[in-house]
Amino acid sequence: MQVIGNLGSDCQVNDYQGKKVINFSLATTINPGAQNEKTIWIDCALWNRENMAQYLLKGTKVYLDGVPALKVWNNKEQEAQGVFKLSVDNIALLSAKSANSTTETAQ
């Protein structure tokens, strides 16, 4: 899946079973400019690229390519809840908050 959007907050670098993962949320717009325009939030994970963290700041525009997943559960009121997730394979900075911009392929 390919998506372009803006980071909703600065990323967080976490350690998961001895591997580094960068977690961040991405806002992307479906049907931009149309009456039925909608913003979708995606929880993203970028593995073993902790050097990218310095560039993944709130408001940074990025292109992502990765594997999507939808996690669904029922809340206390038995209403369906869900979150859209993306395991990022490739990332490209389209705008950066830092003076140094880069393009990198995650593996």
Q: Residue for token digits 């073993």?
A: 48
Dist. CA 42–CA 36, nearest whole Å:
19
User: Which CATH fold topology does 2-105 show?
Assistant: OB fold (Dihydrolipoamide Acetyltransferase, E2P) (2.40.50)
The answer to whether 10 touches 57, Cβ cutoff 8 Å, is yes
pLDDT of residue 98: 53
pLDDT of residue 107: 46
The model carries a pTM of 0.81
Q: What residue segments make up the domains of the chain, in order of their start?
A: 2-105
- Residue-wise pLDDT for 66-88, tens only, equals 999 999 999 999 999 989 999 99
pLDDT of residue 47: 95
Q: Say yes or no to pLDDT of 97 above 90.
A: no
- Residue-wise pLDDT for 9-28, tens only, equals 999 999 999 999 999 999 99
